[in-house]
C-alpha cells in the first residue's frame, strides 16, 4: 500500500461536500481548528451549496469540486464535509490519475466508505476513516478523538485501548485495516469499488438500522465470502439500532457472532468509531495488530 505524506506546518487541507448538503456554518469551526493546528485550508463551493436539496449541489457540481481537489497539487489532504449519500452516483466518473501521481489523504467516514474502498481496492493508497467537519465543535478542541485525528494525519504513533466486552472473542491478529460503513460495503459488492477482505482486519459500523437489516447485511457479506478469511473483526458503533414490533430476538452482538461462528479470528466489540460523537481515526490500508483478551482489546498501528 502507498502512503500519502503526513501533514506538517503549512500543509493544505481542502474541504468539499461530495455527498449530502452541509451548511457553511458547520465547516467554520473545523476551519478554525485546522488553522490553529498550522494548516492552510481551502473550502470548496459545494460547502453550503443548494440548501433546498438533499445533495450538496448536482452530481456534476459535486464531481467537479472533488475532481478539482484530487487534481490540485497544492493540496495535501481532502476532508469531506459530511456523508449521507451521493458518492456512489459519481465514483465511476472520477479520474484518479493526478491523485495517484501525487496521493493525498482522503478523510471522512459514512458515505466516504465509497472512496475508501474504491481507492484501496483499485490504487492501493491509504486513506483516513476519520471525523468530518461536524465533529469539530466549540469546546471539544482538546477532546481525545479530535487530537487523535491530528495525530493520525501528522504521523504520530496510534494505539487504542477498548474495555472488556462479554461478547468479545479472544485472540490476536495482524492485517491491513479495511472496511467502514456496513450498508455502504454491502452496496459496493459486485462493483469496481468492492473490497477484498482476505487477510485483513475488517472494521464495521452503521447507524439507524433495524436489527434485521444488520442481520441481512452481514448475511450478504457472509454469502459473498467477505467474512471467510479475514484476520480479525472490529465492530465500531452501531447507534440508533432499533428492533421491529415483532422482536427479532437477537442483540447486535448475537447477530454478529452468529455470522462468524464458523471461524476463530478475534472479534472486538464497541470500538469507538462511527456515527457517535466519539469517533476515532483509523488508517485504512495500513497494517494493524489487534489483541483481544479478558482485559479488553488493544489495536495498534504497525509502521
Catalytic positions are 110, 205, 275
Alpha-carbon distance of 212 to 23, in angstroms, equals 33
Partners of residue 107 on adjacent β-strands: 79, 128
Strand partners, 131: none
Q: From the CB of residue 57, how many other CB atoms can be counted at a distance below 10 Å?
A: 22
The answer to whether residues 59 and 50 touch, using CB atoms and an 8 Å cutoff, is: no
User: In a 10 Å sphere around its CB, with 0-12 CB exposed, 13-18 middle and 19+ buried, how is residue 287 labelled?
Assistant: middle
Q: Residue written as cell 489532504?
A: 77
Burial of 13 (0-12, 13-18, 19+ CB in 10 A): buried
Those residues whose C-beta lies under 8 Å from the C-beta of residue 261, and which sit 6 or more positions away, are none
Cell 465543535 -> residue:
137
Contacts of 72 (CB under 8 A, 6+ apart): 14, 42
Amino acid at each position: 500500500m502507498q502512503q500519502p505524506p503526513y501533514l506538517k506546518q503549512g500543509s493544505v487541507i481542502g474541504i468539499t461536500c461530495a455527498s449530502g448538503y452541509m451548511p457553511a456554518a458547520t465547516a467554520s469551526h473545523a476551519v478554525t481548528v485546522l488553522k490553529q493546528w498550522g494548516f492552510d485550508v481551502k473550502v470548496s463551493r459545494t460547502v453550503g451549496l443548494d440548501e433546498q436539496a438533499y445533495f450538496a449541489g448536482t452530481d456534476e457540481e459535486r464531481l467537479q469540486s472533488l475532481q478539482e481537489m484530487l487534481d490540485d497539487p497544492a493540496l495535501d489532504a481532502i476532508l469531506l464535509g459530511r456523508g449521507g449519500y451521493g458518492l456512489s452516483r459519481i465514483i465511476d466518473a472520477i479520474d484518479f490519475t493526478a491523485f495517484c501521481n501525487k496521493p493525498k489523504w482522503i478523510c471522512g467516514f459514512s458515505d466516504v466508505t465509497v472512496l475508501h474502498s474504491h481507492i484501496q481496492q483499485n490504487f492501493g493508497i491509504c486513506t483516513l476513516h476519520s471525523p468530518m467537519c461536524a465533529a469539530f465543535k466549540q469546546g471539544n478542541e482538546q477532546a481525545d478523538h479530535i487530537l487523535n485525528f491530528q495525530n493520525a494525519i501528522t504521523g504520530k504513533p496510534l494505539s487504542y485501548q477498548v474495555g472488556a466486552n462479554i461478547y468479545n472473542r479472544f485472540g490476536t491478529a495482524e492485517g491491513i485495516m479495511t472496511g467502514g460503513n456496513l450498508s455502504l460495503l454491502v452496496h459496493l459488492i459486485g462493483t469496481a469499488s468492492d473490497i477484498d477482505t482476505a487477510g485483513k482486519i475488517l472494521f464495521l459500523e452503521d447507524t439507524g438500522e433495524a436489527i434485521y437489516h444488520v442481520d441481512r447485511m452481514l448475511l450478504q457479506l457472509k454469502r459473498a465470502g467477505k467474512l471467510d478469511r479475514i484476520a480479525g473483526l472490529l465492530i465500531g458503533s452501531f447507534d440508533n439500532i432499533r428492533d421491529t414490533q415483532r422482536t427479532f430476538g437477537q442483540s447486535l452482538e448475537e447477530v454478529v457472532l452468529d455470522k462468524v461462528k464458523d471461524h476463530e479470528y478475534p472479534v472486538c466489540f464497541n470500538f469507538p468509531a462511527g456515527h457517535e460523537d466519539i469517533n476515532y481515526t483509523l488508517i485504512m490500508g495500513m497494517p494493524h495488530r489487534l489483541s483481544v483478551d479478558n482485559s479488553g482489546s488493544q489495536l495498534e498501528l504497525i509502521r
